[in-house]
Structure 1
Amino acid sequence: MKRHNLLTVAVVATSLLAVPAIYAAPASISSPVHAMFGKTKTSTVKLNLRNDTATSLQILVGDKPMTLEPGKLVNLEVPVGTRIVANSATPNHAVGSLIEEVIKDHSGATIAIR
């Protein structure tokens, strides 16, 4: 009788320990905790704007108004996602029209506005 009880206890104990191990997550998958608690770094892009029209242009770089003189090159360093919008009407751009939305690939580029 004792042997039967000891065997039963051993089988029950083994099954209780094995069941949670079956549903446990594999050890090889890492959880990216740093993605949730890390700081986000906003990357900036250096680019040039050139006014190829005969008149000066009013533009908005993000929320900042700027004037581009004809033929002049303006250097900018702006965060990715910044919108450059026409703030004065030209034959090719209406007021409020999007000239450029800055992306990382435009680093070092010169944008000619005509």
Structure 2
Amino acid sequence: MIRARGLSWLIGLGLLSGCDDAPRMERGIDDCEATLMALRVEVVSAEGARVRGATVTATNLTSNESISGVTDSDGVTTAVNERLAPSPVRVVATAGAKVSPASRVEWVCDTCNCVPEPAALTLELSP
């Protein structure tokens, strides 16, 4: 009798260990991309050389929220992304005392993402 009761406990624990309380459901296919769309910004000197370590700052003209990034060894950053959308964005580059003229970027949005127009900028630092 004791042996049968111990066996039933063992079977019950084995069945319980295979269960969890996680809900089961089929996941639909998400057509939206999980990654943020980004603006490619290249910074060049007045002579046309790519500038490494320049700071690029984009500011939403409605909310005044901003995102900054630093250019890589190719003078490029993709730090500016659709978190600033859908309002227009002002983009400026700085390197030391040198500053680029401001450029304006619009974001074209659909139900999933916002894409920058233009898709890429080249900002030239003042001489």
TM-score, length basis structure 1:
0.40
Between Structure 1 and Structure 2, the one with more helix by share is 1
Structure with higher Rg: it is 1
TM-score, length basis structure 2:
0.37
